[in-house]
Amino acid sequence: MPRPHGFAYTATGNGTGNGTVRITHHHNHATALNGSRAARFLEEITAGDPRLVMARWTGNYKHGNERTARNHPRNRR
User: What is the reported pTM?
Assistant: 0.66
For residues 23 and 37, the answer to whether their CB atoms sit within 8 Å is: no
Number of independent structural domains in the chain: 1
Tens-digit pLDDT profile for residues 17-55: 578 999 988 888 888 999 889 989 999 999 988 888 888
Whether residue 75 lies inside any domain: the answer is no
Q: Which of 3-7, 30-34, 69-73 has the highest mean pLDDT?
A: 30-34
76, part of any domain:
no
Enclosing domain of residue 52: 7-68
For residue 2, being part of any structural domain is answered with no
Burial 4-38 (b: 16+ CB within 10 A, else e): beebebebeeeeeeebebebbbeeeebbebeeeeb
Q: Which residues pair with 11 in a beta bridge?
A: 21
Give the separation between CA 38 and CA 36, rounded to whole angstroms: 5
Residues linked to residue 10 through DSSP beta bridges, in sequence order: 22
Specify the pLDDT at position 1. Answer: 47
| 72 or 57, higher pLDDT | 57
User: Please, are residues 74 and 68 in contact by the beta-carbon 8 Å criterion?
Assistant: no
Please check whether residue 74 lies inside any domain of the structure. no
pLDDT of residue 62: 59
